[in-house]
Structure 1
Amino acid sequence: MKSVTVIGASLAGLYAARALRAQGYDGHLTIVGAEPHRPYDRPPLSKEFLTAPASAEGDADPAAEGPLALTDTEELAGLDAEWLLGTRATALDTRHRAVRLDTGRTLTTDGIVLATGAAPRRLPSPAPDGSHTLRTLDDARALRADLARGGPTRVVVIGGGFIGAEVAASCAALGHQVAVVEAAPLPLVPQLGESMAELCARLHGDHGVALLTGTGVRGLRAGADGRVTAVELADGRLLSADVVVTGIGVRPATDWLEGSGLPLGDGVRCDAGCVTPIPAIVAAGDVAHVAGARAEHWTSATEQAATAVHNLLAGRTARTHRALPYFWSDQYGVRIQFAGHRRPGDVPRIVEGSPDDRSFLACYERDGRTTALLALNRPRPFARLRRELARAAQPAPTG
């Protein structure tokens, strides 16, 4: 290949570019990113970045300098890439491997890495001033500025998943009055199972955050000035609000690929090697639906990128992605870590610590075998058992 284009300049896109150079590709490399910023780390946006005063940035772009930065000037020079930031891909001609951009330019390339990530889902009702989603650096800046408008603020977070819980924890740490609305009877049951999800849900009450479950949201109300004043719940209740944050999940960013001929459905559908039916086109990160599943976690994005690039350069699926699922979340000073493949019916057993202390390690078991791990503030033993679980999950050597 003489030219490769990476569509997406966030985590998966950056790691794909790194992998291309590390695996010996020395041709022309173009990286297209919809945001104007250099690649930056998203997890801190709902935590440290949100709670830091805006003045802490100074004149620097936090995506280029400081704890959010994923790369630096020296590495950028070493990647020897053409960066097209603040530029969106609008269409893909798979036959000619041509990418059309919103600038009017068309890139014709030998290989393509799709790493466009995902976009936040939004409420169907209009979004008045004071209502936010949190996905990008600019989203986080806008929310932080709104929270700093003056005095304690009534914050309603819609969605009790990891992003919602992290935002709630950050807002509570800033001294705001916070309520979390979750449509399900309990947050995080699909990920953790009912008993462990219940233990994690208690963190909200521990820190004075109201958790309202089992009800959806009918819409947002606004005052004469166009600013949000309340959240109307599906059961008719009204929650007063000065700021609303919606965290009800994401959808893969594939709209621009409609009509391309690539198989779409909850992402770009790939085989176990992150390869689409066209070997010169691969996908990684939140946009990739790999072998029947799509992962929305930091670790998956980095690991898939290396696999996708290996197969892109090989021209076929020469390697498959077999990493053990892993994710983490920081809430109210508690680090929650999870690894493995939990299925309904797997039984969690606490092997260390105590739920009463909000510090424990639990193993999920099925037929006498450990399938997954959950830890609250037990990073070292979790890391050890995670390594053991990863080794056990590797396929047995053949021959």
Structure 2
Amino acid sequence: MRKLNRITVVGASLAGLRAVQALRREGFEGELTLIGAEAHTPYNRPPLSKSVLQGDDDVSLPGAEELGEDWLRGRLAVSLDPTGKAVTLDDGSAVHYDGLVIATGARPRRLADHPEGVHTLRTIDDSLALRAELNAGHQRVVVIGGGFIGGEVASTAQALGHQVTLVDSAPHPMLTAFGADTARWLAQHHRSNGVELISGTRVVGFEGGPRVTAVRLSDGRSIPADLVVAGMGVTPNTEWLESSGLTLNDGVVCDATLYAQGASDIVAAGDVVRWPHGLYGDALVRVEHWSNANDQGTVAALNLLAGPENAKPFADLPSFATHVHGARIQSAGLPHLADEAMLVAGAFEEGRFAVGLARNGVLVGAVAVNSPKDLIRLKRGITSGSPLGAVPA
């Protein structure tokens, strides 16, 4: 372990928390500063679009209680000076470091005009505000975007008794993430559970004022809405780094060991990092899943302590799980890279199946619905570079 006296972690969500825990576990005895934009103790985000909306306030994140009160809450990093080794905060103060972990995550994309009644969902405050609106009796809910957040919110709102319309620009929700076959199944799954699905068109604006009354679609239609949830993906929080000289391209561009390109004292982790993945020919990837942030925070911190010459590449297999209308949907790898798919277990019409996805005949991703054991088999195949037709038993 190289000698570092002051380590600063910017970002107090999952990746940042795991970095702090790893540093303490490894015996780092120097000055450790954690900077968090929110006033809350780090919390678990996956429940925000599901159980929190249904009234369960448990978003506890194991290990968060270890932080105590000795960290910077409600402070936003506004710039970085790598030469002077300083992070400037929104109150004008500067935090100096010998080693830096960037874990500033991402924020939801927004349309230009968001009237009252239009929500995004990223923080616990967002979730509580949306829950209050759902409980206030706003019956017609329009969800923009059929991705992970949009699908979960649509499922939750429908289960709470609301009239839900899901608008997605792709021919089927999750087409890129799951592949055509599973995306078609998901579209039918939404419809069979009472969600009106409008595919292949975009929301271009809102009607009403001061409160939204409808959403306008690119095909000219207007859909009545009492409440709108915009789940249109996220943008990595890198604005504060624009004058730093670090390479920014849909995130902080790092090497395989999570060191920022050209830096020997800066690492990054979580939704904000883009790095070459060893399982995929060192293709640059950015992964927004919980498990990635959980694991990367630890590895980035350990690599910072080890130094660039002793750092280990991060090549964990991306994985994700969600529940939509009672179905457990899991994915692994990078299905969007595939040019071929094959059903390897179950049947679509039974709502229990697994699909392997391959590029040039080699597994690169997998999706399973209510079939966790089959996903485990496929994950082994992806990590071992198995051909699509030779999935391990």
Q: How does 1:1-399 map to 2 (within 5 A)?
A: 1-52=4-55, 57=57, 66-73=58-65, 75-76=66-67, 82-124=70-112, 126-150=113-137, 153-223=139-209, 226-276=210-260, 277-291=262-276, 292-317=284-309, 318-342=311-335, 346-366=339-359, 369-387=362-380, 389-392=382-385
Residue 113 of structure 1 aligns to a residue whose secondary structure is strand
Counterpart CA distance in 1 for 2:124 and 2:130 is 10
Residue 321 of structure 1 aligns to a residue whose secondary structure is coil
Counterpart CA distance in 2 for 1:295 and 1:345 is 16
Identify if the C-alpha distance between structure 1 residues 270 and 368 changes in structure 2 by more than 3 Å, giving closer, same or farther. closer
Counterpart CA distance in 2 for 1:354 and 1:185 is 22
Task: Give aligned-pair identity as a percent.
Answer: 47
C-alpha offsets along residues 277-307 of structure 1, whole Å, 9 cap, x if unaligned? 1111110000111122111111111222222
Task: Quote how far apart the aligned CAs of 1:19 are.
Answer: 1.4
Query: 2:21–2:63: 8 Å Cα contact kept in structure 1?
Result: no
Query: 2:328–2:370: 8 Å Cα contact kept in structure 1?
Result: yes
Task: Quote how far apart the aligned CAs of 1:391 are.
Answer: 4.8
Identify if the C-alpha distance between structure 1 residues 365 and 100 changes in structure 2 by more than 3 Å, giving closer, same or farther. closer
Counterpart CA distance in 2 for 1:265 and 1:364 is 27
Residue 341 of structure 2 aligns to a residue whose secondary structure is strand
Counterpart CA distance in 1 for 2:364 and 2:303 is 29
Task: Quote how far apart the aligned CAs of 1:36 are.
Answer: 0.6
Identify if the C-alpha distance between structure 1 residues 149 and 274 changes in structure 2 by more than 3 Å, giving closer, same or farther. same
Task: Quote how far apart the aligned CAs of 1:366 are.
Answer: 5.0
Query: 1:42–1:68: 8 Å Cα contact kept in structure 2?
Result: no
C-alpha offsets along residues 9-45 of structure 1, whole Å, 9 cap, x if unaligned? 0010001111112223121111000011111110110
| TM-score normalized with structure 1 length | 0.89
Counterpart CA distance in 1 for 2:361 and 2:218 is 43
Query: 2:366–2:379: 8 Å Cα contact kept in structure 1?
Result: yes
CA RMSD of aligned residues (A): 1.8
**Residue 396 of structure 1: aligned partner:** none
Counterpart CA distance in 2 for 1:3 and 1:196 is 48
Counterpart CA distance in 2 for 1:345 and 1:262 is 31
Task: Quote how far apart the aligned CAs of 1:313 are.
Answer: 1.2
Task: Quote how far apart the aligned CAs of 1:260 are.
Answer: 1.0
Query: 1:19–1:306: 8 Å Cα contact kept in structure 2?
Result: yes
Residue 82 of structure 1 aligns to a residue whose secondary structure is coil
Residue 38 of structure 1 aligns to a residue whose secondary structure is coil
